[in-house]
Amino acid sequence: MSKVKVINGITLNEKKKKFKLFPIINGLIFILISLIIIVPIWKVIVDSFDGKAGYGMSLWPQQFSLGGYTTIITNPGLYRPFIISVITTLVGTFLGLLLATLGAYVLIQWEMPGRNFFAYMLLFTMIFDGGMIPKYLVMQNLHLLNTLGAVILPLAINVYNLVLMRNFFEGIPEALFEAASIDGCSPMGTFFKIVLPLSKAALASIGLFYAVQFWNDYTNFKIYINDQKWYNFQMKLRNMVVNNDVPDDGVISTNTINNAAVIVAILPFAIIYPFCQNYFVKGVNVGAVKE
């Protein structure tokens, strides 16, 4: 409703301010969701510094100690799994980006015969998956069981990331491709000299997707790896938490060591993400929306 107010012969309309309930409810819901996320993380952080950590909730360490982290860092049994996680993350991310960028670049070649057919075939695999047993049989027939190839290849071939990259490439002005062709640049030369330099945001965001997948991979190691010497850090972490496979010196609680191991597992990407956040948000927005 509005009221008409006359001041010195001038008519003014005064609109009555309406009380909006939705922003308040929306804010409360997001605060609740944030607390649900933050509280468990805070408990893990606190318990990792508490030498006598139990299963209750406390806001601060009752007995501050770095013994949990010291045990993790000085435990030789964690060195090899950590290195394996680093190797699979670096190699898998590089291979995944290579396949996604090359595949996306092929799919934007408008004059290529059968381009739509290949695109539909790739999209078909996103809807219908072969299943766990067929994948296992394929790895077995390729003699990749108990090798790092069995855990790198399934995640490196990711159609969703390929589609995001293709959408980003389609946003590059076609005039750039025509100019490169006129200047005598080959298709691969155009890819390396024009497409990739303009795709830093997409490469950063999709590369972060791949890196997080490979670093946190547990399922593929559980299915395809039976030899414990090829276990990654996540598999070793699971054995520590579930099977109590932690050194017990009687001074530091096993719960403290378990929580310290969790923090060590998530720390690398907790450090990397703030530096990639701008590229990550921009790359996801551009690659996910097609005009």
Cα–Cα dist 67/103, whole Å: 48
Residue 112 dihedral angles phi and psi, to the nearest 5°: -75, 125
Going by C-beta distance under 8 Å and a sequence separation of 6 or more, which residues neighbour residue 221? Answer: 151, 230, 231, 232, 234, 235
What's the predicted TM-score (pTM) here?
0.76
- Assess whether 156 and 202 both reside in one domain: yes
**Which range marks the domain in which residue 48 is found?**
2-69
Last residue of a domain, one of 69, 98, 127: 69
Structure-block tokens of residue 106: 């092929």
Are residues 95 and 57 part of one domain?
A: no
Do both 44 and 16 map to the same domain? Answer: yes
Quote the pLDDT of residue 87. Answer: 92
> Distance (Å, rounded) from C-alpha 69 to C-alpha 261?
7
What's the confidence (pLDDT) of residue 288?
A: 46
Same-domain check for residues 81 and 53: no
* Residues 131 and 9 placed together within one structural domain of the fold: no
First to last CA, the chain: 40
Structural domains in the chain (count): 2
Q: Which candidate, 245, 84, 97, 274, places its Cα nearest to that of 168?
A: 97
Q: How many CB atoms lie within 10 A of CB 281?
A: 12
Helix (H, G, I), strand (E, B) or coil at 158: coil
pLDDT at position 287: 46
Q: Assess whether 114 and 171 both reside in one domain.
A: yes
CATH number at residue 155: 1.10.3720.10
Are 124 and 259 members of one domain? yes
Assess whether 138 and 64 both reside in one domain. no
pLDDT along the chain (291 residues), means of 10: 52 58 86 88 84 72 80 81 91 92 85 80 80 86 89 88 85 82 83 84 85 89 88 84 66 77 83 71 51 47
Based on the fold, state whether residues 65 and 79 are members of the same structural domain. Answer: no
Distance CA 89, CA 75 (A): 22
Which residue is associated with the tokens 């209750």? 56
pLDDT of residue 163: 85
In this prediction, residue 290 carries a pLDDT of 47
DSSP string, 223-282: HH---GGG--HHHHHHHHHHS--S---SSS-HHHHHHHHHHHHHHHHHHHHHHHHHHHHH
In the prediction, which pLDDT does 187 show? 81
**Rounded CA gap, 87 and 153, in Å?**
14
Residue 66 token pair: 């770095």
Please tell me the distance from the alpha carbon of residue 225 to that of residue 159, in angstroms, as a whole number: 24
59 and 194 together in one domain: no
Residue 282: CB atoms within 10 A of its CB come to 15
Q: Are both 208 and 144 inside the same structural domain?
A: yes
* 20 and 79 fall within a common domain: no
Domain-terminating residue out of 69, 87, 115: 69
Among residues 54, 69, 84, the one where a domain terminates is 69
Other CB atoms within 10 Å distance of the CB of residue 141: 9
